[in-house]
Structure 1
Amino acid sequence: MSSPSPQTKFSAWTLMGIVVGSMVGAGIFSLPQAFGSATGPLGAVIAWTIAGVGMLMVAFVFQTLSERRPDLDAGIYAYAKEGFGDYAGFLSAFGYWSAALLGNVSYFVLIKSTLGLFFPIFGDGNTVVAVMTSSCLLWGMHWLILRGIRQAAALNAVVTAAKLIPIVVFIVLVLLAFKWEAFSSGFWGSGDRTFTAIADQVRRTMLITVFVFVGIEGASVYSRYAKRRSDVGIATVGGFFIVLGLMLAVTLLSYGILSPFELGRLRNPSMAGVLAAAVGPWGAVFVSLGLIISVAGAYLAWVLLAAEILYSASKYETMPRFLSRENSRGVPANALWLTNILVQLFLIVTLFTQYAFTLAVAMTSSMILIPYFFVAAFGVKLSWRATPFRETGRTSGRSEFVQSLLALIYTSGLIYAAGAKHLLLASLLYCPGTVLFYLARREQGKGTFNSWERAAFAILFLSAAAAIFEIANGRLSI
């Protein structure tokens, strides 16, 4: 793969802006309702501790792998292929790309749902008018990105800085209005004060924590643009701690304004309801404006990441060749076109889905779990072999193996927590998506699968068939 010119190289700050911009989007604005409907402050602290440690281990794996294997660009895809073969690489790339699509759909739905607070014609973000205006925004961003990756990344850095301001203001105002009585009265959440009850509450928050951390791999995906390889790790870990601090503050301080029951009944963006309860009606307007800025910036970051992963996978011959074609400005135009055409189709589908935002969030989290699992597994495999660092010459330490193993345990636990429903729905995307892998292999004159890959596809096919059967019989809802 050709290297970008020096003019298109990104600094550590630009890469960190991509990481933070990718993670801080729709998720943070829905945290009070999502956690309030599932647990109280105690469960929230446990959930964020688990998620924080787990995702920190994932961040450390990305940092280690960026130094260990500087030859592997577009990390989240390339690591899976290098460690476990072509089809694993494809599944990782396709899962990441699908998560980006669904995440972008959730952003558009939430923007229009927010406008629906003031203009009923937008409803919950899934009306005809909402879809039409979302489509206009979609293709406007498409035109902007086609003008150049560097210009779009620079705009993302500006938007990232702008969207952090309303979140910080929210934290300050809610902290000033914080009531300890409200926080302590709902400390245990609903249900019994037993380990089993708290564990169940925590489990119900796991997919939410995955959704808000999706994007932690942003710097790794853009590693081929980094000025220095070490910048990738700095941006990943630095971006993680910034976002974790924001998520913790928004979640826990909200319990000091409203009870878990009241939080659970809020309409999204639930941060608006919390601030309105703290400072008055103008707080809802303020948060709503901040959300529109935040989600627009997150969408821009995610579209860049989605197109880049398709482009890189095509360059590595795991996606069809047409996806690696660039326009005169160096933008992977065909990958961008395919991405946004499918976003448009999913937006149309939201017209027929009652809980479009909730489903999009859950499906985004489910689709991203396979890529994260492969990254952690590759980290375990590489550190177990104790391959010397290419840049420093020293061997991997025991701590790197422990970090990778903890990341693998965490991602495996998330797959279990996702539940059968979302895994079956995910297979409905992975199975037909394998057509792209088949086309790529045919272009190269190679057989589609080896023996274990054939078995993996058989499992996907049977899962997809089971999902269709369950949906047809009304036992699985979309």
Structure 2
Amino acid sequence: MTHDGTTTTRTSATKVSGLTLTSMVVGSMVGAGVFSLPRRFAQETGVVGALIAWAVAGAGMLTLALVFQRLAVRKPELDAGVYAYAKAGFGNFTGFFSAAGYWASACVGNVTYWVLIMSTLGAWIPALGEGGTVLAVGVSSVGLWLFFLVIRRGIKEATTVNRVVTVAKLVPILVFVLLALFVFDPGVFAENLRGADYAGSLFDQVRGTMLVTVFVFLGVEGASVYSRYARRREDVGRATVLGFLCVLAVFASVTIVSYGVMPMSRIAELRQPSMAGVLGTAVGEWGSTFVAAGLIVSVLGAYLAWSLMAAEVLFVAAKDRDMPRFLGRQSDRDVPVNALLLSTALSQAVLVLTYFSGDAFDFALDLTAVTSLVPYLLAAAYAIKLRLSRETYAGAPASTLRGDLVIAALATVYTVFMLVAAGLDLLLVSFIVYAPAPALFVMTRREQGRRVFTPTELALFVAVVGAAVAGVVGLAAGWISL
């Protein structure tokens, strides 16, 4: 399953052209996050900072995309998911921790969908606020479990639904950019150029935008998954680069044209989805309604797909004996019910947390981004290890050896920078989400009659629990705020 939920059939007979492969890459990355970009950027920086941020994010995420593409080619047998690279490179517990992070990011990402829907409807139903009120959390919880019951009955995403979702999310985005350009005011744009209203250096302003760029690019690893469908092997690399650049152009365009519609101080105060507010200012109320309707259809379809994907992470890991056996059980309709239940329960817990946050959507978005970074970092580090050990590189030319090492090193540095940009507070909160997961690792080892932890794994376990305890203490003491 792709990032946006497009289901694909695993058959060697299905081969696609480079253009189709490119469209699959684009579809895997364009999600609900794009609708939130104007406000997130306007809260942090002006036009110059936004351009720098997209350049940094584009270069960094492209190196990650190329890392996944090269790993897919060099290690085709590691097809159980992103966490397989962490396991192959750094051991069972590290692989498990990576799987838990990838699963957690999918579950927390599902919460952003509900918060965004409630915030969208909040424009007409004030009691829903911006998605973090008691009513919003209650309605979202009902929706969360209704979807669980629907998926449990075996109703999976159909091709028709995928087409509707794809159109629903792309049409409003393209219409937004075109209409914003039509009403573009050079004077307003010039006033927004340097972000002079914000305290802190340009570096600090750029750093403040980094997590949202990670969030909107989630699914960049999906490009490597499509390599088996390519008619020609060389099409994979081209589709990865071309698809990624198309998505980068869309995201950057949505951000930059907004600065030409209204002052950034006003954009920063818009409710989410801020794209609706910007378009409403540009063309009137119908613009807001148009974007809101497209967003709701898109998000509901994507949520259905991501619920299945979150469960799939646990299910596949259980089948590979990296998770307890009970998570590998399926219903008579081929639905991994236990994995789906556990995923829904984690989303419910995070949904309750949003009530205690200052900004429910930003909190869920940032937490999704930071939990995804650990699996990405471990995959990039594995690519470095593979290159330094020269495994799979026998007979490779010097240019390939140098190129792969540079790409893997840049991807690693970029991911570390993203973790630093996230800040210690958010990292500690993310470990609270991680902390219960090792109980599944212990169950798995005991089922297999194996020693639970090696000395190194025990040290890692203690570090994870220690970080989670520090997060809980910080929240209780008030020096960490959600």
Relative to the length of structure 1, the TM-score reads 0.89
Match of 1:58 among 64, 85, 88: 64
Tell me which residue corresponds to 1:175: 181
Give the deviation of 1:227 after TM superposition.
7.8
- Which amino acid in structure 2 is aligned with residue 114 of structure 1? T
Match of 2:165 among 149, 159, 163: 159
- Does 127-136 or 55-64 show the bigger shift? 127-136
Determine the C-alpha separation between the residues in 1 that align with 2:420 and 2:474. 20
Give the deviation of 1:346 after TM superposition.
3.0
Determine the C-alpha separation between the residues in 2 that align with 1:87 and 1:389. 27
Tell me which residue corresponds to 1:205: 209
Change in Cα spacing, 1:215 to 1:192, as seen in structure 2 (3 Å) is closer
Q: For structure 1, which runs of at least 5 residues remain unmatched after alignment?
A: none
Change in Cα spacing, 1:80 to 1:409, as seen in structure 2 (3 Å) is same
- Which amino acid in structure 2 is aligned with residue 169 of structure 1? V
Determine the C-alpha separation between the residues in 1 that align with 2:337 and 2:241. 30
* Secondary structure of residue in 1 paired with 2:59: helix
- Does 266-275 or 48-57 show the bigger shift? 266-275
Change in Cα spacing, 1:446 to 1:237, as seen in structure 2 (3 Å) is farther
Query: What does 1:32-71 align with in structure 2 at a 5 Å threshold?
Result: 32-71=38-77
- Does 371-380 or 223-232 show the bigger shift? 223-232
Query: What does 1:220-369 align with in structure 2 at a 5 Å threshold?
Result: 220=224, 236-369=240-373
What are the superposed Cα offsets for residues 351-396 of structure 1, whole Å, 9 maximum, x if unpaired?
4444221211111111111011011111111223333379xx8564
Determine the C-alpha separation between the residues in 2 that align with 1:397 and 1:150. 43
Change in Cα spacing, 1:354 to 1:253, as seen in structure 2 (3 Å) is same
Question: How many aligned positions are there?
Answer: 471
Q: Is the 8 A contact 2:185 2:261 kept in 1?
A: yes
Give the deviation of 1:15 after TM superposition.
7.7
Q: Is the 8 A contact 1:100 1:302 kept in 2?
A: yes
Determine the C-alpha separation between the residues in 1 that align with 2:61 and 2:281. 32
Change in Cα spacing, 1:370 to 1:268, as seen in structure 2 (3 Å) is same
1:427 aligns with 2:427: no
Determine the C-alpha separation between the residues in 2 that align with 1:21 and 1:111. 21
Relative to the length of structure 2, the TM-score reads 0.89
Match of 1:374 among 352, 373, 378: 378
Determine the C-alpha separation between the residues in 1 that align with 2:352 and 2:472. 20
Change in Cα spacing, 1:143 to 1:473, as seen in structure 2 (3 Å) is closer
Change in Cα spacing, 1:239 to 1:338, as seen in structure 2 (3 Å) is farther
Match of 1:106 among 88, 101, 112: 112
1:185 aligns with 2:191: yes
Query: What does 1:454-469 align with in structure 2 at a 5 Å threshold?
Result: 454-469=458-473
Determine the C-alpha separation between the residues in 2 that align with 1:305 and 1:54. 25
* Secondary structure of residue in 1 paired with 2:300: helix
Q: Is the 8 A contact 1:24 1:294 kept in 2?
A: no
Identity among equivalent positions (%) equals 48
Q: Is the 8 A contact 1:146 1:331 kept in 2?
A: yes
Change in Cα spacing, 1:470 to 1:347, as seen in structure 2 (3 Å) is closer
Determine the C-alpha separation between the residues in 2 that align with 1:121 and 1:11. 48
Give the deviation of 1:145 after TM superposition.
4.1
* Secondary structure of residue in 2 paired with 1:467: helix
- Which amino acid in structure 1 is aligned with residue 258 of structure 2? S
Tell me which residue corresponds to 2:446: 442
Q: For structure 2, which runs of at least 5 residues remain unmatched after alignment?
A: 1-8
Tell me which residue corresponds to 1:470: 474
RMSD of aligned alpha carbons: 3.0
Determine the C-alpha separation between the residues in 2 that align with 1:133 and 1:20. 32
Tell me which residue corresponds to 1:119: 125
Determine the C-alpha separation between the residues in 2 that align with 1:457 and 1:103. 25
Q: Is the 8 A contact 2:99 2:375 kept in 1?
A: yes
Give the deviation of 1:349 after TM superposition.
4.0
Match of 1:97 among 95, 98, 103: 103
Q: Is the 8 A contact 1:307 1:336 kept in 2?
A: yes
Change in Cα spacing, 1:324 to 1:7, as seen in structure 2 (3 Å) is farther
Determine the C-alpha separation between the residues in 1 that align with 2:212 and 2:92. 30
What are the superposed Cα offsets for residues 252-299 of structure 1, whole Å, 9 maximum, x if unpaired?
111111122221121111111111121112111111112212222332
Q: Is the 8 A contact 1:207 1:418 kept in 2?
A: yes
